[in-house]
Each structure stands twice: as structure tokens, then as C-alpha cells.
């Protein structure tokens, strides 16, 4: 069953904690992306990776970090430097990076700061 999985579905963070959101895909896609969604706003890009061991900042990268050690995995860490992390986080992938490639999305992780 091919697709993108994200875990956990719900995550609660205390002030000052770092937390890591998991994203795995078995589509053999080269490119992976992390977006943040806030109520009433469109999705905003946090980081993206076009290939293993390479990634680029998106529009709102401050307070976040990523790694891409394996093709199928692109975890996102929300650090204590992110002042307003409560949001819905979506991971996506595409066969290749670039302008013509269709992106497919995972089910999302809802992060809440206590």
C-alpha cells in the first residue's frame, strides 16, 4: 500500500521542549516537503529536500530543523525557538523536485503547545 505516513497524529508539547514529527514515504519519490497550516491561512512551506542529504529553507524555517538521511524519511524537529508552534503540520512528496511535479500529501500531525 503506497503512500505517505505521518506520526503521531496528535502531539502535545510543553514550553521549552523540542519535538520531532515523523514523515515516511514508500513512493520512491526524490523530493519531500514540510508545510504548516494555521486556521484561515493557506499552507506555508517550512523546509524541502530535493535529494538525500540536502535540504533548503522555505518561507518560515525559523525555529525548525530537518534531516534527510534516507530517501524515504524526512523528519521535522520543532525546537523551543519556535515561539508559536501550535498548528497542523503536513508532509508531502513528489517524484522529482521542480516545477512540473505533482505533490502528494500525508494525513498530517496536529501539534499543540500546553
Partner 1 sequence: KQEVTQIPAALSVPEGENLVLNCSFTDSAIYNLQWFRQDPGKGLTSLLLIQSSQREQTSGRLNASLDKSSGRSTLYIAASQPGDSATYLCAVSEITLIFGTGTRLQVFP
> In whole angstroms, what is the distance from residue 75 CA to residue 56 CA?
14
> In whole angstroms, what is the distance from residue 44 CA to residue 58 CA?
8
Binder of partner 1 out of 14, 15, 41, 83 (CB under 8 A):
41
Least CB distance to partner 1 at residue 95 (A): 12
Q: Is 42 in the site for partner 1 (CB under 8 A)?
A: yes
Binder of partner 1 out of 23, 29, 33, 68 (CB under 8 A):
33
Q: Is 110 in the site for partner 1 (CB under 8 A)?
A: yes
Q: Is 55 in the site for partner 1 (CB under 8 A)?
A: no
DSSP string, 51-68: ETTEEEE-TT-TTEEE--
Check residue 103 and report its DSSP letter. Answer: P
- Nearer CB in complex with partner 1: 43/113: 43
Q: Is 58 in the site for partner 1 (CB under 8 A)?
A: yes
86's grid cell: 501550535
Amino acid at each position: 500500500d503506497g503512500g505517505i505516513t505521518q506520526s503521531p497524529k496528535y502531539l502535545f508539547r510543553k514550553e521549552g521542549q523540542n519535538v520531532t514529527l515523523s514523515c515516511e514515504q514508500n513512493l520512491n519519490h526524490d523530493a519531500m516537503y514540510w508545510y504548516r497550516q494555521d486556521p484561515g491561512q493557506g499552507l506555508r512551506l517550512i523546509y524541502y529536500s530535493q535529494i538525500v542529504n540536502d535540504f533548503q529553507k522555505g518561507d518560515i524555517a525559523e525555529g525548525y530543523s530537518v534531516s534527510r538521511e534516507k530517501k524515504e524519511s524526512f523528519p521535522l524537529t520543532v525546537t523551543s525557538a519556535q515561539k508559536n508552534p501550535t498548528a497542523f503540520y503536513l508532509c508531502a512528496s513528489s517524484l522529482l523536485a521542480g516545477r512540473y511535479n505533482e505533490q502528494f500529501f500525508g494525513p498530517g500531525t496536529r501539534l499543540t503547545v500546553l
